[in-house]
Amino acid sequence: MRRGPEVLSDYKTALRGRRLRCAAILSCALVSVAFWRLTQGEWSIPPSKVLALLSPFSGEAELSTPEAVVVRSVRLPRLLSALGAGGLLSVAGVVLQGLLFNPLAEPYTLGIAAGAAFGGALGFAAHVSWVTPWAFAGALVALWAVQVIAWRSGGGRAYLVLAGIVVNAFLSAGVTFLKAIADDRLGAIVLWLMGSFSGASPGASLGVWAAVLLSVPPAWFWGRQLDAVSLGEDRGSMLGVDERRLRVILLCLVSLGTAVTVGSFGIIGFVGLVVPHLLRPFIGPLHRPLLLFAFGTGGCLTALADGAAQNLGELPVGVVTALVGGPFFCRLLLRRGREN
């Protein structure tokens, strides 16, 4: 029989090779999707012209053409928004599923997204122009309520998901109530909640990427601790992880990412739920690589869904992700059921 160190080094080499292959596939997919999203649209602009317009060295005169505005202020922000938002939602899914060791955890199951939606709807009803801070406040309040309910009822992680479902139901009813009473803003709220990148402004895309910078590197930094926590109840504590502190930090980061996404583009479901499950068979359960791949894959799939939504006559992207993600997730579940 071969010795442990040899087996281990072979395994590490194979693992590195597999990750490189996955990264290569993902990069190709990202480049293709980006190319598709930047060159296709209502205006037909030749790809060579698009590339020239994206160059940072384009001249002043060139940048004031209508084509330049379409590419640089409409298509590029829309692509970047979809990539960043999908990445944020997927990272949120990975973090929450690890932290709560619940395979169904994502921003929606924990009531975070419903909180953001309620906060944002409140902002709309109050006629504010920028609803993201309202969404973030809503997400934090929902998170706080979930923590308090879970802590008061025993403190276990199973209770967090239960409390999340309760808060989610309550706040969803709250959103419906707001829709009912905010007659004049009903259209705006409904449209916003359906989720779409069609109006993504350069500012919104910058906001999303600021949230990415604020939340993804810290999540990666605490990835090893997340590994320990995901092994089981109190396993993190036994291995020197301050579980309570880790939970507070990571849940706040996830809320920030979710709130920015929901606040800018509305509800985009299933991305955070499906992407981690899609990747685990290829990447494995270790959180550091999983977080990076989830970010890229989530972004890529969301940009793809956004493209599909646009080509189907500006459907809400949330409808596309739910219509594709729902059955897909069922398939994943069924396949897993067969394997066990």
Partner 1 sequence: MTGLPLCFSELEAGYGGVSVLRKFRGTLRPGTLTALIGPNGSGKSTLLRTFAGLLPYKGSLTLGAGPEAREVSRIPRRELGRLVGMVPQQVRMTAPFTVYDAVALGRLPFQGTRAEDDRLILDAIARADLEHLLLRQVTRLSAGEAQRVLLATVLAQNPPVLLLDEPTSALDPGQTARVFALLRRLADSEKTVVAAVHDVNLAVAYADVFFALKRREDGISWISPAEAVEKLDGEVLERIYDTPFDSYVSGKGEKVWHVRIK
How far apart are alpha carbons 209 and 107 in whole angstroms? Answer: 18
Taking contact as CB under 8 A, which single stretch among the options 5-13, 54-62, 65-73, 302-310 is the one that binds partner 1?
Answer: 5-13
Of residues 165-194, which lie at the interface with partner 1 (CB under 8 A)? none
Site for partner 1 contains 248 (CB under 8 A): no
Min separation Cβ 338 and partner 1, Å = 15
Min separation Cβ 225 and partner 1, Å = 7
Site for partner 1 contains 230 (CB under 8 A): yes
Taking contact as CB under 8 A, which single stretch among the options 32-40, 46-54, 116-124, 279-287 is the one that binds partner 1?
Answer: 279-287
Min separation Cβ 140 and partner 1, Å = 25
Nearer to partner 1, 8 or 210 (CB): 8
The dihedral of CA 284, 286, 292, 298: what is its sign?
positive
How far apart are alpha carbons 111 and 293 in whole angstroms? Answer: 25
Taking contact as CB under 8 A, which single stretch among the options 7-15, 62-70, 132-140, 207-215 is the one that binds partner 1?
Answer: 7-15
Site for partner 1 contains 234 (CB under 8 A): yes
Taking contact as CB under 8 A, which single stretch among the options 49-57, 130-138, 201-209, 225-233 is the one that binds partner 1?
Answer: 225-233
Nearer to partner 1, 217 or 285 (CB): 285
Total binding residues toward partner 1, as defined by CB under 8 A: 29
Site for partner 1 contains 233 (CB under 8 A): yes
Nearer to partner 1, 59 or 154 (CB): 154
Site for partner 1 contains 98 (CB under 8 A): yes
Taking contact as CB under 8 A, which single stretch among the options 71-79, 167-175, 184-192, 278-286 is the one that binds partner 1?
Answer: 278-286
Nearer to partner 1, 134 or 293 (CB): 293
How far apart are alpha carbons 71 and 52 in whole angstroms? Answer: 10
Among 49, 72, 235, 247, binds partner 1 (CB under 8 A): 235
Taking contact as CB under 8 A, which single stretch among the options 35-43, 71-79, 219-227, 267-275 is the one that binds partner 1?
Answer: 219-227
List residues binding partner 1 (CB under 8 A). Answer: 1, 4-5, 7-8, 11, 98, 101, 154, 224-225, 227-228, 230-235, 237-242, 280, 284-286
